[in-house]
A and B are shown apart, each in its own frame.
Chain A
Amino acid sequence: MEQKHLAQRQTSQSMLIFGVIIWLVLFAFGLHGLYDRLAFDSLQTDMGSYIPWGLWVSSYIWFIGLSAGSFLLSTLVYVFKLKQLEKVAPLALVVALITLIMALLSIWFDLGHMGRFYGVYLHPNFHSAMAWMVWLYTAYFVLLIFETYFALRGSLVRSSFLPGIPGIFSRILTGGRQEALSEEEVRRDRRKVTTLATLGIPLAIAFHGGVGALFATVVARDVWHTSLYPILFLVGAFLSGGALFTGLIAFFWPKRDDYWQATVHLLGRVTLGLLLLEAVLTWAELSVPMWYGVGPEYEELRYMLFGPYGWVFWVVQVGLCTVLPLILLVAGSKSPRMTGWAGILVAVTFLSTRLNLVLPGLVAPELAGLPYSYHDGRLTYQYLPSGSEWQLLAFIISVGIALYFLAVKVMPTLTGRDVA
């Protein structure tokens, strides 16, 4: 028994070292992208004026979807009182906050003038869906911070006696409070969390549906200009956020008890349902404009499916993001490990779905003859994210991973550890 325990510890230690090495590689790789972005502005990207949005906009909607999904998952506990997920709900809030930071970093790096972002606050144009996005994100960010704080306050007070950084961190956040929260205070905090979570539901739906609307309202882009887009974005958010959380609980929840098994199982069922719904919506998105093989969207979607980057759809979006997770979720429904892998697969490869929502609307010339009218590397309909673009994305992901492990380290109660 002791030998088995020792072997398990050794395995987890070697996994930790392996993880740290991977993270360091990712971070170093990403730092170069950050240097490129800050030193050369957008020069090192492969974007042009005909395809002006690329990997960074796609990753922004990927991250913001993860955030909205994680947040809405937490509302199952704080608004709909689902007991099973009660222990993991604070972690969902923290994941929502971290992925929101990642999304904001992505879109901030995409701006031509990063230093002027405050213009959206000083002189916003509220006709613009993008201006609404920024204001709604700001409201969501503030709401998330307060909700996370009130959801964690009780455990932070308990953690303030811990030695080292977790204790210091807890004492700072609780103002050095020593006595535990009274029952009345706990009730008051719960009420605050419920109110904030209830307010957060329409907010999360508004900002993420709104991201879909940001694309859908553009009349110039046939593929984007459909009422289905905001719905697709929302369902994608639920799915990717739910899947990420399933993976995190399956692999990083420290106690492998019955509760953990039942929670992963429940999250797996939720992911499975959302995966099927996403598949139906994707079918509707593609089949309606393509059925008769005629119309402006037909060529653009055909390019997406059978053009040079068709593998992104067939291999990544269909294979790794839909079919394989479906098999894992159905065949391995009783295995938390299989369910976890399905979640991780969906969450990671969901970037392909986001790329396939952004890019097809941009690949066709708006006027015949445009591609040949003026020859310039920035005036083409070819786009493949440059090394620098991937590097910056790696930087953002490494920041997200670091924030997650930092949060879990300084707030041990997040992962269900008892510190009382």
Chain B
Amino acid sequence: MPENNFIKDIGEKTGTRRDVLTKGLALGVGLLTLEAWTSQRTLAASGSGQVSQGMAQIPTLPPPVDPWQEDVILVMQQDLKRALSKPLDQRHWGMVIDLQRCIGCQGCTVSCINENKLPPGVVYRPVLEETSGTFPNVSKHFLPRPCMHCDNPPCVPVCPVGATHKRPDGIVGIDYNACIGCRYCITACPYSARTFDWGEFYGDIVLGGPLPYEEIPSLEYGKVWVREAGKSPIGNTRKCQFCIERVEKGLLPACTDMCFGRATYFGDLNDPQALINRVRQNRQVNQLKSELGTHPSVYYLL
């Protein structure tokens, strides 16, 4: 990974500050050593030494990531390469969204629309907004909501024709050509993560038909989908599929790639080295409506 020149430049220009930092660091290390030494003595005195010996055999995760020191996009791309080298059923794609980093710009929503060529009425990743408090103590909260790709998805068993399915890599997908458009799955999703393609175009009002850019096909599930009346995906339920056609080519999902607040992490939940697992360390993690037993593959950092 290239050295962070920005930090290096600042360091050279502020020599005196560097001295102060060095002294502070030395003092800190000294205090930590003292703390570690006293902790060991306390453990030995309480007879817990054996426990700590046993603990040493448990493999430890690499240190948590400091996103200011590593370019998370590049790290996640490396993670993708590692995951793609494994068989499909040994990967488990998942997402982590850091709510403290999300600024509610809705860039992920827009990039998703752009990637999947979404028509009116169809949205895969809206950013939910909630305002709490009263003036002057007001705060706004944002919650990007992709498909949760649940491990126990309520939308899969309800599909009368098996068009909605759980893939071995954790993705909940839809076979557009099998979907009959009954919308039972929409009612069954507790996250409202499914929307129906009613066949509308942005150009309908003015042109009475699609605008030129609406005729560009989407490439969902690695196939070419041109929206024409009576043909899929019109008349189908549609949803976020973690941009699997991009992921399988080593690219991150559009929302993750675009998120300039670096609030979205994507990767293989089965890989302990993956950034998606490292960022969850030492943070309070939540899943939406976990009490339903759906086991979502999307985690939120609070």
Contact = CB atoms under 8 A, between A and B. Distances in A.
A303 interface: no
B151 to A, nearest CB: 15
B240 to A, nearest CB: 13
Contacts of B183: 52-53, 112
A113 interface: yes
A362 B158 CA distance: 17
B129 A373 contact: yes
B172 interface: no
Nearest to A44: B198
Contacts of B191: 366-367
A163 interface: no
Given A119-B161, A376-B120, A219 B292 contact: yes
Contacts of B158: 127-130, 217-218
A220 B161 contact: no
What secondary structure prevails in chain A residues at the interface with B? loop
B181 A220 contact: no
Contacts of A214: 184
A131 interface: yes
Give the most central of B163, B186, B189, B292: most A CB within 10 Å.
B186
B24 interface: no
Nearest to A42: B198
Contact of A378 (B109, B121, B230, B234): B121
B187 interface: yes
B128 A370 contact: yes
B179 interface: yes
Contact of A123 (B178, B199, B230): B178
B49 interface: no
A260 to B, nearest CB: 43
A148 to B, nearest CB: 28
Chain B, interface residues (CB within 8 Å), range: 35 or more
Interface residues of A, number: 48
Given A112-B182, A367-B145, A124 B160 contact: yes
Given A112-B179, A220-B190, A378-B121, A130 B184 contact: yes
Nearest to A128: B160
B285 to A, nearest CB: 18
A112 to B, nearest CB: 2
B126 interface: yes
Nearest to B186: A52
B128 A49 contact: no
Nearest to A361: B187
A130 B129 CA distance: 35
Contacts of B126: 370, 373-374
B220 to A, nearest CB: 17
Contact of A125 (B159, B199, B232): B159
A318 to B, nearest CB: 26
B160 to A, nearest CB: 4
Given A53-B183, A365-B192, A377-B121, 16 more contacts: A41-B234, A48-B196, A112-B181, A116-B180, A124-B160, A125-B157, A128-B184, A130-B160, A218-B158, A218-B188, A366-B190, A369-B143, A373-B145, A378-B198, A379-B121, A379-B195
Interface of A: 40-43, 45, 48-50, 52-53, 110-113, 116-117, 119-120, 123-125, 127-131, 134, 214, 217-221, 361-362, 365-370, 372-374, 376-379
**Nearest 10 pairs of A and B residues by beta carbon:** A112-B181, A378-B121, A112-B235, A369-B128, A220-B190, A49-B195, A373-B126, A127-B157, A125-B162, A131-B160
Interface of B: 109, 120-123, 126-130, 143, 145, 154, 157-163, 178-184, 186-192, 194-200, 229-230, 232, 234-237, 288, 292
15 contacts: A40-B199, A42-B199, A50-B192, A52-B183, A112-B197, A113-B180, A367-B128, A367-B143, A369-B143, A370-B128, A373-B126, A373-B128, A378-B121, A378-B200, A379-B123
